Structure 1
C-alpha cells in the first residue's frame, strides 16, 4: 500500500517518520495514554521501533497516521487502520493530553474512515474501546460509529488487566 497524506481544516494526517519517536515517547509517558494502549514504550529505542513499524505499510495490513497540526507540524495524536483483510478492518486512535477534548480524534477517525471506504474499498470498519474509557466512546459516536455490543474481557490494556470493550462499527453504506 502506498503512503498518503490526508488533511482537514485543522489536521494533517501523514505517515509516521523517524523524527516522531521523541513525541511518541512523550505521549506514551502520559498515564492516560499508557493505560489504554497495550504496548509499553520504555525508551527512545522502543518508540523508534514503534514509529518504524507503523510507517511500514508494505504488508497492506495496516495504514497508520501521525495526526499533526498543519501549521506547526506538532504531533496531536495517532489514528490507524489495522487488521485490514478483504473489505474489513479495525481502527484505533489516541491523542496527546494537550489535544484532548478538541475534536481531533473524531475528526481524524472520520477522515481515515472516508478514505478507507472511498479509496481502499473497505465495507466494514470496527472500533473497540474499553468500557471504562468514556472519552473514547464519545469519539466513536461523533465519528459515526454505531454501538453494536459489549465484548466481555476481550482485551488486555496497558495496566495488564483484561477489560470489557464496546464494539462500534461503520459500514460503507451508513450515512
Structure 2
C-alpha cells in the first residue's frame, strides 16, 4: 500500500501508566503551554521560544503539533497527570519523512521537574518509536537528540534512556544573551534498546 510522503498516517495512541498519561495535544492545553514557554528555565535552554508568548503563540504551537502529525513528519505526545490530565510536558519524534531515523525532543512544565517523569515518559516514547509500524509504532531504526552542554537535566534524560554521546557541535546553540554554547549529540539504535543496553 502506498502512503502519502511514503509514510503511513501516524496516530498518537494514548499510553497510560501509574505515573503519567501520554496523549495528543488538546485545545485545553493552552494555559499550561503558556506556563512552560514563559518559564525561566525553559527560556534558558529553548532560545527559539518567541517572546512574548501568550495565547496566540500557544494556539499556534498546538496547531503545529497537529500539522506535524498530518504531514507525517512529527508525532508529539503530551505528558499528562493521570488524575487531572493537566499537561506536565511533551515528547516528540520528528524527522519522520527522512528515512527510518527520528529526532527526539522533550520539555517539562515546572511542576514536573525533579520527579523523573520526563525520563520515564521519554523511555515509553522510545518503545513506541522502535515498535514496528504494523504493531502501531513508528518503525524507527535509530533515534537521535541534541542537548546543550550545560543542560544537565536534558543530558541525564538521554543517558538514563541508554543514549550514547556521539559528538559535539561546537558553539552551535545561541543563547538569548547572544552567547553560544556547545551542543552535544546523542543517538540510540533499536538493537541496543532491544538488548537493554545500559549507558556506559
Query: What TM-score results when the alignment is normalised by the length of structure 2?
Result: 0.82
1:88-107 → structure 2 map (5 Å cutoff) = 88-107=101-120
> Is 2:50 aligned against 1:40?
yes
Please tell me whether the aligned partners of residues 122 and 172 of structure 1 are also in contact (alpha carbons under 8 angstroms).
yes
145-154 vs 113-122, greater mean Cα deviation: 145-154
The structure number with the bigger radius of gyration is 2
Higher relative contact order (CA 8 A, sep 6+): 1
Q: Say what the alpha-carbon RMSD is for the aligned residues.
A: 1.5
Please tell me whether the aligned partners of residues 16 and 54 of structure 1 are also in contact (alpha carbons under 8 angstroms).
yes
1:112-131 → structure 2 map (5 Å cutoff) = 112-118=125-131, 119-131=137-149
> Is 2:40 aligned against 1:31?
yes
1:13 matched residue in structure 2: 22
Using the TM superposition, give the Cα deviation of residue 157 of structure 1 relative to its aligned residue in structure 2, in angstroms: 4.8
- Structure 1 residues 150 and 157: CA distance shift in structure 2, 3 A: same
CA distance in 1, matches of 2:25, 2:177: 26
Using the TM superposition, give the Cα deviation of residue 6 of structure 1 relative to its aligned residue in structure 2, in angstroms: 2.1
> Is 2:128 aligned against 1:110?
no
Using the TM superposition, give the Cα deviation of residue 55 of structure 1 relative to its aligned residue in structure 2, in angstroms: 2.5
CA distance in 1, matches of 2:179, 2:139: 35
Using the TM superposition, give the Cα deviation of residue 129 of structure 1 relative to its aligned residue in structure 2, in angstroms: 0.6
> Is 2:175 aligned against 1:163?
no
Residues 76-119 of structure 1 show CA distances to partners (whole Å, capped at 9, x for unaligned) of: 11111112222101101111112111111111111111101012
1:65 matched residue in structure 2: 77
Moved runs in structure 1, 4+ residues, more than 6 A? Answer: none
Please tell me whether the aligned partners of residues 131 and 164 of structure 1 are also in contact (alpha carbons under 8 angstroms).
yes
- Structure 1 residues 153 and 22: CA distance shift in structure 2, 3 A: same
More helix by share: 2
Partner SS for 1:105 = helix
Residues 120-163 of structure 1 show CA distances to partners (whole Å, capped at 9, x for unaligned) of: 11011001110011111111111111111211122335555432
Unpaired runs of 5+ residues, structure 2, are 1-9, 132-136
Unpaired runs of 5+ residues, structure 1, are none
More strand by share: 1
1:4 matched residue in structure 2: 13
